Amino acid sequence: MTIAEAAVRWDMFDRDIYASPYETFRRLRNEAPVYYNEEYNFYALSRHDDLGNVLTDRETFISGKGMVYNIISNDMEMPAGLFINEDPPLHTMHRSIVSRLFTPRAVASLESKIRALSEEIVDGLEGRDQFDFMRDFALQLPVQVIGMLVGVPKKDQADLLAVFQKTLHEGSVDPDRQLMQGILDSAAWFNDYLDWREKHPTDDVMTQLMKFEFKDETGGTRTLRREEIVTYLTLITTAGSDTTATGISWAGSLLNDHPDQRQELAEDLSLIPRAFEEVLRCEPPSYHYCRWTTKDVELHGQKIPAESIVVLLPGAANRDEDKWEDSERFDIHRDPAQVFTFSFGPHYCLGANLAKIEARIALETFLSKYPEWSVDYDNAVHTKGIDTRGWESLPVIVG
Ligand code: HEM
């Protein structure tokens, strides 16, 4: 067998593939739509239709064992209320409580505050001809927005940033200790914060959540327990900050690589929402997410046994050539279509609208001030995780 004929191989720990996964994803779609990795004992799906079918069949493909590889393969126990890792009836109950924070009205009401924060961040870059697009810009806004959403005072938001970065970036590399430690650190931080908030109630959503009464799974009416609120806050912060920042930073590199399209955007900011959809299609911040099979499944003539880890690859499905013409090409004028960046079905990202509003405003503010920039790829660094994929550092030169 020549090297060219070697069977396609993918795993989430391979750093070379992580740096540039799209040729491997193309081969997975075409040569191994049900790919089995013996070393890590998982199946991977890469075709658009397959992700759509799996994500809507919650009898067969469940989230209750965890939704990322390290959590499932290490059989980690997760705190109750971390509903991204739950199935009905618990998922339905917890999601409906937290979705109160994300109604279209609640999110739209944040717009002018998000714009003020974004302008302040861009103003802070004044006078510098080099900075880090990720660390100095993209990462700042989502943390401050989440801080504002859950009522964390601005002076404490830097601590919050440090805690969640530890959870995500260090955590997903060393699953046994650091992921759990990061979650525990976040929980401890929010516990202290809630002590303070109880003594300083306001009319913000956090205080409302603390008073909220609902029917639980036993049919009794009660308010939320402290540990449930802490878990919700940990989930929102970890799910919502790094992912959004990563999405904005992909816009920084993709627009750098396509200066003609960047110029079009800078000249007509109303093109930004569709352009950001295209950024999320081409470079989804979510590298993989998983389900667990409850029974044997037959797909493309191959059996996936019950109790298997099924890894879903949004970055592969988003470039399926059966779905998009010239699917590898970045094109800000593409019609938006179903992508899997925010998942699909019952676990569809609760913060998708918020993330899109933040990115739109961030890019409007940035492009108004900096219509051109140049990425210093020699010194750019990819994230180290395996669940998300983006830039940990993206140095740029402006002006
Ligand atoms: C570009 C930014 C974002 C991306 C790429 C993203 C991606 C995802 C994905 C892939 C899932 C579902 C995983 C699965 O099906 O197992 C998810 C769920 C979730 N996301 Fe996001 N997310 C983003 C922003 C946000 C924001 C801003 C928030 C909140 C502030 C948020 C909160 C959540 C929550 C609470 C869930 C759990 C939903 C459920 O299980 O029912 N996300 N996100």
**What is the domain partition of the chain in residue ranges?**
3-398
In this prediction, residue 175 carries a pLDDT of 47
Q: What is the DSSP string of 268-322?
A: -GGGHHHHHHHHHHHS-SB--EEEEESS-EEETTEEE-SS-EEEE-HHHHTT-TT
Q: Which of 368, 270, 390, 281 is nearest to 331 (CA)?
A: 281
Task: Please give the Cα distance from 342 to 340 (Å, whole number).
Answer: 5
In this prediction, residue 172 carries a pLDDT of 46
C-alpha separations of 356 from 114, 210, 244, 285 in Å = 12, 27, 8, 13
In this prediction, residue 169 carries a pLDDT of 53
Give the range among 15-19, 117-121, 212-216, 325-329 with minimum mean pLDDT. 212-216
CB-CB contact of 81 with 190 (8 Å): no
In this prediction, residue 219 carries a pLDDT of 84
Dump pLDDT digits (tens) for 235-281: 888 788 889 999 999 999 999 999 999 999 999 999 999 999 999 99
Dump pLDDT digits (tens) for 7-36: 999 999 999 999 999 999 999 999 999 999
Dump pLDDT digits (tens) for 203-215: 666 777 788 888 8
Residue with the nearest Cα to atom 43 of ligand 1? 349
In this prediction, residue 288 carries a pLDDT of 96
The Cβ of residue 327 has, within 10 Å, a number of other Cβ atoms equal to 18
- Asked whether residue 2 carries a pLDDT value surpassing 70, the answer given is no
Mean pLDDT (whole number) for 95-116: 89
Pick the CATH number of 3-398 from 3.30.70.600, 1.10.10.1100, 1.10.10.10, 1.10.630.10: 1.10.630.10
Residue with the nearest Cα to atom 19 of ligand 1? 349
In this prediction, residue 176 carries a pLDDT of 46
Please give the mean pLDDT across all residues of the chain: 90
Of 243, 292, 360, 391, the residue with max ligand 1 atoms within 8 A of its CB, to mutate for a pocket test, comes to 243
- Asked whether residue 174 carries a pLDDT value surpassing 70, the answer given is no
> Six-digit token pair at 395?
């140095």
- Asked whether residue 124 carries a pLDDT value surpassing 70, the answer given is yes
Question: Which neighbouring-strand residues pair with 36?
Answer: 43
Ligand 1 site residues (CB inside 6 A) read 63, 67, 83-84, 95, 146, 235-236, 239-240, 243-244, 247, 285-286, 289, 341-343, 347, 349-351, 354-355
- Verdict on whether the full-model pTM lies above 0.85: yes
In this prediction, residue 173 carries a pLDDT of 45
CB-CB contact of 42 with 69 (8 Å): yes
- Percent of all residues in the chain with a pLDDT value above 70, rounded to a whole number: 93
Dump pLDDT digits (tens) for 42-78: 999 999 999 999 999 999 999 999 999 988 998 888 7
